[in-house]
Chain A
């Protein structure tokens, strides 16, 4: 079955450390997205990519970086510049840039040691 795989499920970061969250999809979708979810809040868009080798900042991109070298992969790096990284991170995809997110991964929960 096609879907989105996020890894790891749980991740711990030390102060001043960069960490990378993995997102892989086998749906052949063009567009991929990263969202951040905090308790009691809705999802907020960090970055999105409509096509390989192209990506755009979302509403809360500061302290994060992404790459889209392959259609199926969209890793998110949480840099040391992100001062409040503890959250649940969700990766999503859609067939094309004109569609809403259709598939979500099961998320990665990032915590600070």
Chain B
């Protein structure tokens, strides 16, 4: 079955430290890949997406993600986190473009220590 896994339910990092959030998928073909962020009590915001081409994708708010076909991964990174980055992060994949086929991971909650 097609699935998306975010292995870390909760991550805590110090302000200014680097961040990497993991996302793995199990699909036969290379899917379309997305990262969303959700602040408490709010909707989701699209951070970045990968469809094809360069495997290192730049997004908003200083985030980037790297697609690694050999590892079936699409990890999200940021060199230096800010307190405002505290939120829930969701990885999502789709085999075809179109939201009706979008599958979300369980989410990773990020806490920032001052």
Q: Which residues of A approach B to under 8 Å, CB–CB?
A: 4, 6, 31, 33, 40-45, 48, 56, 58, 90-92, 94, 97-107, 109
User: Does A40 contact B9, Cβ atoms closer than 8 Å?
Assistant: yes
Q: Is the CB of A40 within 8 A of B106?
A: yes
Whether B100 contacts A90 by the Cβ 8 Å rule is: no
Most A CB atoms within 10 A — which of B32, B90, B94, B99? B99
Among A45, A100, A103, A105, the most chain B Cβ lie within 10 Å of the Cβ of A100
Interface residues on B, range: 20 to 34
B4 to chain A: which residues have CB within 8 Å? Answer: 42
- A33 and B34 alpha carbons, distance in the complex (Å): 17
Instruction: Assess A100 versus B34: contact at CB under 8 Å? Given A33-B99, A40-B9, A42-B92.
Output: yes
Q: How far is the CA of A6 from the CA of B41 in the complex (A)?
A: 12
Give CA–CA (A33, B102) in the complex, Å.
11
**CB proximity of A111 to chain B, nearest CB, Å:** 14
* Dominant secondary structure at the B interface: strand
Flag if B99 contacts A107 (CB, 8 Å).
Answer: no
Is B46 touching A43 in the complex (CB atoms < 8 A)? no
| Contact residues in B for A99 (Cβ distance below 8 Å) | 97-99
Interchain residue pairs with CB less than 8 A apart (21): A4-B43, A40-B106, A42-B4, A42-B90, A42-B107, A43-B44, A43-B104, A48-B100, A97-B99, A97-B100, A99-B99, A100-B32, A100-B34, A100-B46, A100-B94, A102-B46, A104-B44, A106-B41, A106-B43, A107-B41, A107-B42
| Chain A residue contacts of B102, Cβ below 8 A | 45, 100-101
Q: Which residues of B contact A100 (CB under 8 A)?
A: 32, 34, 46, 49, 92, 94, 97-99, 102
Task: Point out the residue from A41, A42, A105 that lies within 8 Å of B43, measured CB to CB.
Answer: A105
B45 within 8 A of A: yes
Contacting pair A42 B106 (CB below 8 A): yes
Closest to B42 in A: A106
* A48 touching B99, Cβ below 8 Å: yes
Bound CA span A56–B101, Å? 12
CA distance A43 to B112 in the complex (A): 24
B56 to chain A, nearest CB (A): 20
Residues from chain B with Cβ under 8 Å of A101 in the complex: 44, 46, 99, 102
